[in-house]
Amino acid sequence: MAVSKGHRQKNSRRGSGIWWVGLVVSLAAALTAYSTAYASVGQGELRDLYTSAEAQGMGNAFTAIVDDDESLYYNPAGLAGVKTPKLTYLDLQAETASSIITSASSTANSLKTINSNTLNTFIGKDIYGRASLTPSLVLPGFGIGLLVDQQVAFYAENQALPAVTLGYQTTNGVKVGYGHSFFLGGSKKNAGKDEIRVGIGGELLFRRGGYYSLSESQILNIGTSEYHSIVGGFGEGVGADIGMQYIRHQNKRLSLMAGFAWESIGGVGFNNSTAQTQPGDLSIGVGARYELPGLRLTLAYDMKHLDQSTDMRMRQHFGAELKIPLVAFSLGINEVSYTAGATVDVWLAKVSLVTYAEELAYEADLATERRYLLRIAFSL
C-alpha cells in the first residue's frame, strides 16, 4: 500500500516529538538516580540566584514554559521564544517572612537590648528580608539583564543549645543569554511544527557575605570588627548556563513542552574566601499551554536542584496559571507547600503579589516558613 508524503512527514514529526520527550524523561531518571545514590541529604534551604514573583506563584515551575525576560534566570533556551523587543527599566521585588509580620512589635523590643534572653524571642522564627532590582533588555533570541540583590536573615532554633544562622548577602552582576530555535519538518513561518529551542548564557557576579552558622557567644559578643571578618569584602565570580526546550504544537490552541536547564553550572565561586558560592541549579520540567481568545491556561511541573544534595520532596514544583486580559492568577506547590499569586498587567506597568513557603531545614516539613513577595515592574 502506498504511503502519502504528508502521512510520512506527520509520522516523522510525531516520532521526533516522542524521541525528545523520551530524552527529557530519561535524563530526569538518570539525574534522580545519580543524586539519590551519590549525594547525602543535608543541604538546608535551597537559595536561588533570583526567583521571580510570577514563577513563584506557579510553585517555581518555569523550566519548560518560560519564554520571556525571565528566561535569563530560568532557561536561556526560552529567549528563542521572545517575539518582540522589551525593555524593563524598573523591576523591583521585595519579600519578607511571616515571622516579621506577625511579631514585629516583640522583635523590635527584643533588639533594643541584646542579651541572653534576646535569642529566646527569636527561637523558631525566620527573620528574613530580601530586595532585588533586575532591569533587562530582551530581543528575539537574546537578552541582557542587571542584578542587584540584598538579603538579610536571622534564624535560631533549639533553645537548650541554640543553633543560629546569620545571613547577610549582597550580590551584584550582569546576566546574558542567547537562544535559537530549530523547527522539525518546516520553518518558523509554518504553524503547527515541532520546535526545539537551545540556549546558552552566563553571568558575571560580585558578591559579599552569605549565610553563616554562629554560636550563641558569637552572636552575643559580635562587634564591628568581628562582623566585617565574617562578611568580608566583595569577590568576583563567573558562571555559565545551558538549556533546551521542546515545544510540540498539537494545534493552534494546545502546546506541550519539555525542557531542561543548568543555571550556574557547577556553582559560581568567588575570589574572596568569605563570599559564599552560588550553587548551580540543574532542572528538568514539562508543561502544557491551552489558549483561546482572551484566555490562556498554563500547567507546569519541575524537578529542580538535581545537582544538589537534598530531600527529594524539596525538588518538587507544580504550578498552574490562568491569564485573562489585564490579570493573571496562579496556584502551585513549592517543595511541599502551596503557593498562590495574582498579577495585574496594565499597559507599561506590572504588579504581582505572591505567597509561598520555604523549607529551612535539610528535610521537608521540619522547619517551614511562609513568605510574601511583591514585584513592581515597568517596561517598554
How far apart are alpha carbons 315 and 58 in whole angstroms?
14
The residue type found at 329 is F
How far apart are alpha carbons 148 and 132 in whole angstroms?
5
CA atoms 80, 28, 258, 48: torsion sign: negative
Find the mean pLDDT for residues 167-179: 95
CATH number of the domain to which 176 belongs:
2.40.160.40
pLDDT over threshold 90, residue 305: yes
How are beta strands 126-133 and 142-157 bridged, if at all? antiparallel
Q: Which of 7-21, 101-115, 168-182 has the largest mean confidence?
A: 168-182
How far apart are alpha carbons 302 and 217 in whole angstroms?
42
How far apart are alpha carbons 289 and 297 in whole angstroms?
6
Instruction: Please indicate whether residue 118 or residue 292 has the higher confidence score (pLDDT).
Output: 292
> What are the E-state strand segments in the chain?
86-97, 126-133, 136-139, 142-157, 163-184, 194-214, 235-249, 254-263, 281-292, 295-303, 316-324, 327-334, 337-346, 349-359, 368-379
pLDDT digits (tens, 9 = 90+) for 314-363: 899 999 999 999 999 999 999 999 999 999 999 899 999 999 998 877 77
Instruction: Please indicate whether residue 293 or residue 20 has the higher confidence score (pLDDT).
Output: 293
260: nearest Cα among 25, 45, 2: 25
Query: Over the Cα atoms of the chain, what is R_g?
Result: 22
The confidence score (pLDDT) of residue 193 equals 73
The confidence score (pLDDT) of residue 202 equals 96
Say which residues have a Cβ less than 8 Å from residue 321's Cβ, sequence separation at least 6: 54, 57, 58, 296, 297, 298, 328, 329, 330
206: nearest Cα among 168, 262, 165, 149: 149
The confidence score (pLDDT) of residue 39 equals 41
Q: What whole-number percentage of the chain has pLDDT above 70?
A: 73
Q: What is the mean pLDDT of the chain?
A: 82
Using 50, 70 and 90 to split pLDDT, how confident is the model at 41? very low
Instruction: Please indicate whether residue 155 or residue 339 has the higher confidence score (pLDDT).
Output: 339
What pTM, to 2 d.p., does this model score? 0.83
The confidence score (pLDDT) of residue 61 equals 96
The confidence score (pLDDT) of residue 42 equals 45
The confidence score (pLDDT) of residue 358 equals 87
Domain that holds residue 41: 5-379
The residues that bridge with 349 in the sheet, in sequence order, are: 346, 378
Find the mean pLDDT for residues 83-91: 95
Grid coordinates representing 203 are 553571568
How far apart are alpha carbons 71 and 78 in whole angstroms?
5
Using 50, 70 and 90 to split pLDDT, how confident is the model at 36? very low
Instruction: Please indicate whether residue 119 or residue 182 has the higher confidence score (pLDDT).
Output: 182
Cβ atoms of residues 337 and 368 within 8 Å: yes
281: nearest Cα among 259, 269, 270, 266: 266
pLDDT digits (tens, 9 = 90+) for 179-221: 999 988 655 555 557 899 999 999 999 999 988 877 666 666 6
Task: Report the domain count for the chain.
Answer: 1
| DSSP state letter for 278 | B
Say which residues have a Cβ less than 8 Å from residue 357's Cβ, sequence separation at least 6: 334, 335, 337, 338, 339, 368, 369, 370, 371
The confidence score (pLDDT) of residue 89 equals 94
Say which residues have a Cβ less than 8 Å from residue 268's Cβ, sequence separation at least 6: 203, 205, 237, 238, 239, 277, 278, 280
The residue type found at 317 is H
Name which of 29-33, 133-137, 159-163, 357-361 the model is least confident about: 29-33
Count the helix, strand and coil residues of the chain and give each as a percent rounded to the nearest 5: 25, 50, 30
The confidence score (pLDDT) of residue 273 equals 75
How far apart are alpha carbons 289 and 328 in whole angstroms?
14
The residues that bridge with 152 in the sheet, in sequence order, are: 129, 168
Taking residue 259's Cβ as centre, other Cβ atoms within 10 Å add up to 29
DSSP string, 114-148: -SHHHHHHHBT-EEEEEEEE--EEEETTEEEEEEE
